[in-house]
Amino acid sequence: MSDFEDQRLLEVDIHNFLEVKIECLLGDGARVIGREYMLPFGRIDLLCQDRFGCTVVVEIKKGVADRSAVGQLLSYVGAIRESGDSAIVRGVLVAKDADDGCRAAMKAVKGISFFAYQTELSFAFNELTNQQSVVLDTEPEILIQDSLVKTSKRYCMFCKRETNGSSVDFSWRCGTCGNTI
C-alpha cells in the first residue's frame, strides 16, 4: 500500500466496513452487538457475537499492530469475561500487518486471532473522453485475509457483499451490483 493509500484509509473506514460485513471475520450468523463499547479503561472497537453465541472482541488498528495491541485486546477480553455475560470470550485483532513483537505475543495466548486487511487501487475507463484515466475510489475495496490460513474474500464497497466480480480493461466489475470499481 502506498503512503497515499495509507492516508486515505482511516480506522473508522475499517470499522464501518466490518460493522456491515462482520461475517468476513467471524463467519455466517455473526453479528455486531456494540460499537465503541465503553469499559472503565477504554473502548472496544466492535463487540460481536458469533453463530455459536460466543462473544468476540474485535480490536482494529490502522497500519501495523505492535505488541501493545495484543495487551489492549487481552485487557478487553478479560473485562468482558469478568462481567459474566458470556461463557466464552475470544479476541480478534485486525490490522494491515503485525510486527514481530505482536506475532510473538499472539503465539503466547489462546483465543486470539489475527486478520490482515488490504486495500487495492482501481482504475476506471472514462467513457466521456474515451480515454483510460487513473481514478481512486472514495471508498477503496477492502480484502480481509486470515493470516493463519491465507484465504481471502473480496467485498464490494458499494453493495457491501462478497462478490465474484471480473477484471476487464484495468477495472473491476462487481458481480452482485454491477458497479465498476
Domains of the chain: 3-119+139-163 (3.40.1350.10)
3-state secondary structure of 56: strand
pLDDT at 152: 43
Task: Give 125 or 174, the one with higher predicted confidence.
Answer: 174
Helices (H), 1-40: 3-8, 11-20, 23-26
SS3 readout for 147-163 = CCCCEEEEECCCCCCEC
- Residue range 81-118, pLDDT digits in tens: 988 877 799 999 999 999 999 999 999 988 899 999 88
Query: Which cell is 78 given?
Result: 478479560
Residue 136 confidence (pLDDT): 42
Name, of 19-23, 55-59, 176-180, the range with top average pLDDT. 55-59
171-173/166-168 β-pairing: antiparallel
Residue 6 pLDDT > 90, yes or no? no
Mean pLDDT over the full length of the chain: 76
Three-class SS state of 134: strand
pTM, to two decimals: 0.66
